[in-house]
Amino acid sequence: DQQVKQNSPSLSVQEGRISILNCDYTNSMFDYFLWYKKYPAEGPTFLISISSIKDKNEDGRFTVFLNKSAKHLSLHIVPSQPGDSAVYFCAASDPHSGGSNYKLTFGKGTLLTVNP
């Protein structure tokens, strides 16, 4: 049972344009959402997060939007750069999953390719 879904395995955009990566979830108990970026042969790197009490969080070129009623979040990268080419994972945290220990549930990832 996939609680965090990234339905697009891949996305290709032109340099300078906007990249939009989408993520859906089914568990209404999730209260924190995170995006990770992964380059080949490296571990995932934390990118940006958002609390369920917010609908938007921005950090430089990266903005995450959360629509709780639709159980949907998205990551916007503007402008996209070739160095952004990587696999992006959406992850969610359920505070009830283990007391105060924040276990993350990951989606399958979306491969973003930014073409020069």
Partner 1 sequence: EAGVAQSPRYKIIEKRQSVAFWCNPISGHATLYWYQQILGQGPKLLIQFQNNGVVDDSQLPKDRFSAERLKGVDSTLKIQPAKLEDSAVYLCASSLNRQGYGYTFGSGTRLTVV
Where do contacts with partner 1 occur on this chain (CB under 8 A)?
4, 6, 31-32, 34, 36, 41-46, 49-51, 89, 91, 93, 95, 97-109
Structure tokens belonging to residue 87: 């696999």
Find all residues with CB under 8 Å of 43, minimum gap 6, and list them. none
What is the SS3 assignment for 29?
coil
**Least CB distance to partner 1 at residue 112 (A):** 15
**Least CB distance to partner 1 at residue 72 (A):** 17
Place of tokens 């973003």: 112
Which of 90, 77, 88 has the alpha carbon at shortest distance from 24? 90
**Least CB distance to partner 1 at residue 76 (A):** 19
Q: Which is nearer to partner 1, 17 or 103 (CB)?
A: 103
